[in-house]
Amino acid sequence: MSETSNKPYRYLAMLSMLYMTIIITVCVLSNKIIIIAGHVTMAGTLFIPFWFILSDIITEIYGYKISRQIIWFSFLCLFIFSILCSIALHLSSPHFWHGQSAYNLVLGDATRITASGLVAYIISGSINIYLLVRWKFLLKGKYFLLRSFCASTIGELIYTVLAVVMIQYHVLTWSEMEKIIITSYTIKIICTFLSAFPANFVVSLLRKNEISTDSDDNINPFKKIKMEDNNSVIKI
For the chain, domain boundaries: 11-91+100-208
CA distance 22 to 25: 5
Residue at 99: amino acid letter: G
Average pLDDT over residues 138-160: 93
Average pLDDT over residues 51-67: 92
Q: Between these two residues, 206 and 109, which has the higher pLDDT value?
A: 206
Q: Model confidence at 212, in pLDDT bands (50, 70, 90)?
A: low
Q: Model confidence at 215, in pLDDT bands (50, 70, 90)?
A: low
Q: Are 196 and 145 in contact (CB under 8 A)?
A: yes
Residue 118 confidence (pLDDT)? 75
* pLDDT higher than 80, residue 177: yes
Q: Model confidence at 2, in pLDDT bands (50, 70, 90)?
A: very low
CATH class of segment(s) 11-91+100-208: mainly alpha
In the chain the beta strands, taken as DSSP E runs, fall at 33-36, 39-42, 225-227, 232-234
Q: Between these two residues, 110 and 78, which has the higher pLDDT value?
A: 78
Residue 1 confidence (pLDDT)? 42
Classify residue 59 as exposed, middle or buried by CB count within 10 Å of its CB (0-12, 13-18, 19+).
Answer: buried
Q: Model confidence at 106, in pLDDT bands (50, 70, 90)?
A: confident
Give pTM, 2 decimals. 0.81
Q: Model confidence at 7, in pLDDT bands (50, 70, 90)?
A: low
* pLDDT higher than 90, residue 56: yes
* pLDDT higher than 90, residue 171: no
C-alpha 230: how far from its chain's center?
A: 27
